[in-house]
Every structure is written in structure tokens, then in C-alpha cells.
């Protein structure tokens, strides 16, 4: 792959998106809503598709600041009838609708497949028919690598998912690559690591453990850490949203999938300590892994995202400290909307 593209500047993004029409599936969730807010800021006309499922990251509060400036379609990507009509005429499709719980994918694997795999193919097929010129960016995940064989994990690392969610996301991503190579669709994919930030699901641990940690710390309850020495990287949601915009405006990204990492690597214990320090108070308990989690845990993970940085000029702008600070401040002010 050519890695020679100059980095996009904020001005490039405005030029690309001002006056454009962008569709965001899963647009009420953590990343989708941050992306929608940024797209509105850049002058795009934004349509959000979201099924608003109770077990998902969807929350209307996430788009409060742009509610009057976006079209909202409460549609499930599994229900295909309305998709072609919704896709028509859009310049960009940010494809983020997903079932994100690894544990849920093991207790209800078919629902995970229908959302993360089957609906992705339906969407691509609809695009191919009614809007083959749209630029598509898919939210993939580090989960498709499984337990890392080496660190940091680059895009050459074997794909060996440990749970049903990982298999379905791997297939969902691969469909995007196939549709680009075989049918010329302008697709790319970002393999996300832990994304956190204002607007995430904090009700429970379905959208990474960080969510439930935030809830517990705000409610004055101890954080429960399973294990604790696992190393991970974390990307602040606004940095992830920026990456989606950069991928969409970079033709060299098409037919490829890229890792996205964070600004640094920490253990879960270190993260807990940072969160408690940011909060000014709190405590944690270290617990053994519950068995159903142990079987699908991936151990240490952190990404080598050098390819994407070089290609697009992207890098995390928000440090982990600052991101945790902003996230905690947001949830303190908006707590009752999320629990």
C-alpha cells in the first residue's frame, strides 16, 4: 500500500464534508454520536440510523446538542426494507451499528451474527445497487486478532478471534474489503481498541469494562478489576471520530483495514488508579476472572497503528488523563441520563 499521502488538515476535512450528505449507522452510540456531532460541525447534512436497542450503546442524550440538525431514523439494520431508500444520495456511510458485548455473543450468538455479519452484507449489497459511489468506513475491532502472538499487534497479525463476536466482526470487515476489490466500492475499516468518552454506556459492562468502572466510581462504589495486569490501549472517542473522517477522505485507505491505538499503554490496575486520582476518591477490588470471561479473554493487547498514522497524519490528540477527566466530568453532569 502507498503510504505517501500528505496528512489531512482541519481545512481539508471542512472542504470534504461541508455540504455533503453523511449517514451514520449506530449514530446514537458512543462513537456514532461523536462522529455525527463532528460532521454537523463540519457542515455535513447528517442522517442517523439506530435501532436504539436497550442493550446497545444508543442514548438520545448523545445527540441532544444536534437533535434539531440531524435526520434520525429509528431503524434496525437487520430490517432491510428501508435500507436502500435511506442509503440513496449519501456521499458517506459510517457503518458503526453493532452488537458489542463479547459475553452476549456467546450466550446469544445468532443475534450477534445477524447484526455484525449478516446486516453488514445486506448493507453493502444495498449500497452496491443504489449508491455504489458512496465512501464507506466500517468500525472493526481488535477482537478479530484474538490473543496476541506478539505486541504491539500490527495488521499482519493472524486473525484468530476467541469469541463469536470476533468471528462476526472479522467477517463483517472482510465483506467490506471484498466489495471494494470485487465491485469497486470505496470501503475501508478501522480496527478499534477500547474506545471511551462522554456518551458511552455506563449502565453495565456491555460496552467495555470502562463503562461500569465510571458508574461505580461516580456512585462511590469500588471498581472491580478482573485480573489487573492486562495491558491495554484506550482511544478517546473524539480521536476515534477524527480517524473515521480521515479514513473517509483518504482514497489510499480503500480496500484496507487499519489498527487504531491510543496515546499510551497501561495495565488495568494503572487505569483504575488514574481514574481514582482523576476523581479525587475511590477504591478498587481485584477479583479472579469469572469463568465465562476467562475463556474469551485475550490477555495483553496494544496496537501498532503506524500504518494509519503515516497514511493520514492521524494521532491521538487527547491524552488518557485528559480524556478520563472529560469523561468523568460529563457523566457527573449527566449521570441520570445514562443509568
Question: Can you give the binding site for a second copy, defined by CB under 8 A?
Answer: 106, 109-110, 113-114, 117-118, 121-122, 125, 156, 158-164, 166-168, 170-171, 174-175, 177-178, 181-182, 295-296
User: What's the gap between Cα 63 and its chain centre?
Assistant: 16
- Distance, in Å, from the CA atom of 239 to the CA atom of 315, rounded to the nearest integer, reads 8
Q: Which residues contact 53 (CB under 8 A, 6 or more apart)?
A: 76
Quote the least distance from Cβ 20 to a second copy, whole Å.
28
Nearest to a second copy of 174, 274 (CB atom):
174
CB of 166 to a second copy, least distance (A): 8
Reply yes or no: is the peptide bond before residue 152 cis, omega within 30 of 0: yes
* Residue closer to a second copy (CB basis): 74 or 182: 182
Spatial distance between the Cα atoms of 275 and 273, rounded to a whole number of angstroms: 5
Nearer to a second copy, 162 or 265 (CB): 162
Rounded Cα distance, 274 and 251, in Å: 39
Q: How far is the CB of 92 from a second copy (least distance, A)?
A: 23
In whole angstroms, the minimum distance from the beta carbon of 62 to a second copy comes to 31
Distance in Å, CB of 67 to a second copy, minimum? 35
Q: What is the DSSP string of 82-150?
A: THHHHHTT-SEEEE------HHHHHHSHHHHHIIIIIHHHHHHHHHHHH-TT-EEEEEEEGGGG-S-SS
Q: Which residue in this structure is represented by grid cell 442522517?
A: 47
CA dihedral 317, 319, 320, 322 (to 10 degrees): -110
| Sequence-distant (≥ 6) Cβ neighbours of residue 226 within 8 angstroms | 209, 268, 287, 288, 289, 290, 293
Smallest distance, a second copy to C-beta of residue 165, A = 10
For a second copy, give the closer residue by CB, 161 or 316: 161
Could you tell me the smallest distance in angstroms from the CB atom of residue 38 to a second copy? Answer: 31
Q: Which residue's CB is nearer to a second copy, number 15 or number 159?
A: 159
Q: Which of residues 49 and 113 has its CB atom nearest to a second copy in the complex? A: 113
Q: Rank residues 168 and 230 by Cβ distance to a second copy and give the closer one.
A: 168
Amino acid at each position: 500500500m502507498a503510504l505517501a499521502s500528505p496528512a489531512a488538515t482541519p481545512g481539508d476535512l471542512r472542504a470534504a464534508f461541508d455540504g455533503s450528505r453523511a449517514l451514520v449507522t449506530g449514530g446514537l452510540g458512543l462513537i456514532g454520536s461523536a462522529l455525527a456531532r463532528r460532521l454537523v460541525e463540519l457542515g455535513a447534512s447528517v442522517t442517523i440510523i439506530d435501532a436504539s436497542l436497550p442493550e446497545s450503546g444508543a442514548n438520545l442524550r448523545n445527540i441532544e446538542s444536534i437533535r434539531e440538525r440531524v435526520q434520525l431514523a429509528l431503524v434496525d439494520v437487520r430490517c432491510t426494507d428501508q435500507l436502500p431508500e435511506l442509503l440513496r444520495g449519501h456521499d458517506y456511510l459510517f457503518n458503526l451499528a453493532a452488537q458489542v458485548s463479547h459475553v452476549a455473543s456467546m450466550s446469544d450468538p445468532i443475534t450477534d451474527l445477524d447484526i455484525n455479519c449478516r446486516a453488514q452484507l445486506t448493507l453493502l449489497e444495498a449500497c452496491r445497487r443504489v449508491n455504489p459511489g458512496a465512501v464507506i468506513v466500517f468500525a472493526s475491532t481488535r477482537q478479530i486478532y484474538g490473543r496476541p502472538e506478539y505486541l504491539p499487534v500490527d495488521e499482519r497479525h493472524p486473525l484468530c478471534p476467541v469469541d463469536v463476536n470476533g468471528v462476526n466482526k472479522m467477517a463483517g470487515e472482510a465483506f467490506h474489503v471484498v466489495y471494494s476489490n470485487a465491485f469497486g466500492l470505496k470501503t475501508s475499516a478501522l480496527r478499534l481498541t477500547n474506545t471511551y468518552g462522554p456518551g458511552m454506556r455506563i449502565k453495565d459492562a456491555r460496552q467495555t469494562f470502562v463503562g461500569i468502572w465510571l458508574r461505580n466510581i461516580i456512585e462511590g462504589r469500588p471498581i472491580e478489576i478482573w485480573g489487573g495486569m492486562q495491558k491495554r490501549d484506550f482511544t478517546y472517542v473524539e480521536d476515534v471520530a477524527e480517524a473515521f473522517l480521515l479514513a473517509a477522505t483518504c482514497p489510499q485507505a480503500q480496500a484496507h483495514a487499519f489498527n487504531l491505538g491510543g496515546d499510551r499503554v497501561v495495565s488495568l490496575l494503572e487505569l483504575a488508579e488514574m481514574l481514582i486520582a482523576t476523581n479525587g476518591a475511590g477504591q478498587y477490588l481485584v477479583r479472579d476472572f469469572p469463568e465465562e470471561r476467562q475463556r474469551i479473554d485475550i490477555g495483553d493487547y496494544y496496537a501498532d497503528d503506524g500504518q494509519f498514522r503515516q497514511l493520514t497524519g492521524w494521532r491521538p490528540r487527547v491524552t488518557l488523563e485528559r480524556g478520563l477527566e472529560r469523561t468523568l466530568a460529563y457523566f457527573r453532569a449527566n449521570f441520570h441520563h445514562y443509568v
